[in-house]
Structure 1
Amino acid sequence: MNCQPWLKALVYKCTNIEHTCLLCGTSAEQPHPICIACEEDLPWLSEYCMHCALPLPMAGLTCAQCSRRAPAFEQVVAPWYYGFPVDTLISRFKHNRQWPLGRLMAEMLSLDLRHRFADGLARPSLLLPVPLAKRRQRERGFNQAGMLAKWLAKALAIDCNERLLRRTRETPAQQSLDAKARRRNLQQAFAVVDESALHGLHVAVVDDVLTTGATAQSIAALLRGAGARRVDVYCLARTTKPGQA
């Protein structure tokens, strides 16, 4: 769902004209509405699994789960782990319709991706947002993954298709489920509308947070089965393993 014109104007105003830090209210003094101090204090993810981006004690490692069974996706890109204040910013974006915060995080994710592309990360030819259940989208009024994907598409000059993936059935919210229940919950929950549009493509799935990876795995397996050559996952944040600091 597209923002209303006045909401688009609000996002533009907060991210392009009045460069006041959206976190502390001081002058940002840089191209994005976040000051250097607040940017440095974000929970940057620097040591993580090479496949699923699970926070690890050292860089360049593969987590136990990905070592036992390689996921259907090639790599997860997430600039932050899911900690304060990123967790609050994402919640305010999703549940309180504070779109400027989502736009800010999308812009910072796009900068991170540009650096990774320059360092050799393969560039996808298509972005696919995780589809939201129809009932939940009616309640919320928008799909946060769709908004993130469109902002990324514009910043990175990559095509975005919001209609190629669809939900085939309503599912309970993932937040209340453990990893095993999440996998069962997502069985046959997604479908590809046009498989011919995926043949041989490198695509990236866009979402806000990756928790257990069940959604990413389900969609990546579906896309690979439909003919996609490679599937990556782009998200704002990656949660830590339960019980991990």
Structure 2
Amino acid sequence: MHCQPHYKGQVYIWLKNKQNCLLCDEPSDSPLPLCDPCADELPWLGAQCMHCALPLPTAGLTCGQCLLHPPAFQQVIAAWRYDFPLDALISRFKHQAKWPFGRLMAELLAQFLHYRFNEGLPRPDSLLPVPLSRQRLRQRGFNQAEMLARWLGKELQLKVAGDLLRRRLDTPAQQGLDARARRRNLRQAFSLTGEVEVEVAGRHLALVDDVLTTGATAQALARLLMDAGARRVDVYCLARTPRPETRD
């Protein structure tokens, strides 16, 4: 069953020269529907863990969790902390199907990734959206991670392997669970459905999701891909939660 929307038209006039800011409704100073003052007030992620992007007081460090248990993924690339007003934008995109907010955040993340690529971050061979369970996909009607991956793939000219990963178990929602419970929740939850030798073995892959909290989902998927022969797995997401108490 494919519930992912395939709307071919524009959600709004994305290339229009004059647009209003989606946050304050004032005229935008750029082709994006976001004015410069609102862009400056977004919770941009500063100093962070070199692997999982957990916000830290000083740049260039690795958090205690990654030191004790090195993750299967190489690096998390996130543009923002999961904080106001970005948390509201993600929630409205994800739970209320406000696609313009998702499109805006994907465009900004693409610009951020362009900058990181120019600074030396290796470009992946493919983008892989984090899959939803069939039950949650039916309830929501779309997979926000797949929509983000499609937008990013178009902006970055990267292949999107949307059908490579499958969530085979309808596990309980991750929200509200601590790190240990999240890991238990995800045991054997994912599988590969594509041609592993062609799409995974020896390739650099990037998982795409909206928010990274404990990293349990990213860890489970990265481990699956690395065990299948991937050369490197990164994680691209909109936001990283700044709450270390949710980690274990």
TM tier, smaller:
over 0.9
Q: Is the 8 A contact 2:126 2:204 kept in 1?
A: yes
Q: 2:234 aligns with which of 219, 232, 235?
A: 232
> Partner of 2:26: helix, strand, or coil?
coil
For structure 2, the 5+ residue unaligned runs are none
Query: 5 Å matches for 1:17-28?
Result: 17=16, 18-28=18-28
User: Are positions 1:4 and 2:3 aligned together?
Assistant: no
Q: Is the 8 A contact 2:28 2:34 kept in 1?
A: yes
User: Are positions 1:241 and 2:243 aligned together?
Assistant: yes
**Structure 1 counterpart of 2:5, one-letter code:** N
Shift of 1:68: 1.2
**Structure 2 counterpart of 1:173, one-letter code:** A
> Partner of 2:175: helix, strand, or coil?
helix
State the number of aligned residues: 240
**Structure 2 counterpart of 1:209, one-letter code:** V
Shift of 1:218: 0.3
User: Are positions 1:137 and 2:137 aligned together?
Assistant: yes
Q: Report Cα offsets for 1:50-96 as digits up to 9, x if no partner.
A: 00000000111110011112100000000000000000000000011
> Partner of 2:15: helix, strand, or coil?
helix
Q: Distance in 1 between matches of 2:204 and 2:5?
A: 26
**In structure 2, what is the equivalent of residue 109 of structure 1?**
109
Q: Distance in 2 between matches of 1:223 and 1:55?
A: 26
**In structure 1, what is the equivalent of residue 179 of structure 2?**
179
Q: Distance in 1 between matches of 2:209 and 2:29?
A: 29
**Structure 2 counterpart of 1:59, one-letter code:** A
**Structure 2 counterpart of 1:181, one-letter code:** A
> Partner of 1:114: helix, strand, or coil?
helix
User: Are positions 1:219 and 2:221 aligned together?
Assistant: yes
Q: Is the 8 A contact 2:103 2:148 kept in 1?
A: yes
Percent pairwise identity: 58
Q: 1:202 aligns with which of 198, 201, 204?
A: 204
Q: 1:243 to 1:222 in 2, by over 3 A?
A: closer
> Partner of 1:127: helix, strand, or coil?
strand
Shift of 1:240: 1.2
**Structure 1 counterpart of 2:189, one-letter code:** A
Q: Is the 8 A contact 2:54 2:244 kept in 1?
A: no
> Partner of 1:19: helix, strand, or coil?
coil
User: Are positions 1:58 and 2:61 aligned together?
Assistant: no
TM-score normalized with structure 2 length: 0.94
Q: Report Cα offsets for 1:191-213 as digits up to 9, x if no partner.
A: 01132121100000000000000
Query: 5 Å matches for 1:153-168?
Result: 153-168=153-168
Alpha-carbon RMSD across the aligned residues, in angstroms, is 1.2
**In structure 2, what is the equivalent of residue 126 of structure 1?**
126
Shift of 1:16: 2.5
**Structure 2 counterpart of 1:16, one-letter code:** L
**Structure 2 counterpart of 1:199, one-letter code:** A
**In structure 2, what is the equivalent of residue 169 of structure 1?**
169
**Structure 2 counterpart of 1:2, one-letter code:** P
Q: Distance in 1 between matches of 2:244 and 2:203?
A: 34
User: Are positions 1:16 and 2:19 aligned together?
Assistant: no
Shift of 1:243: 5.2
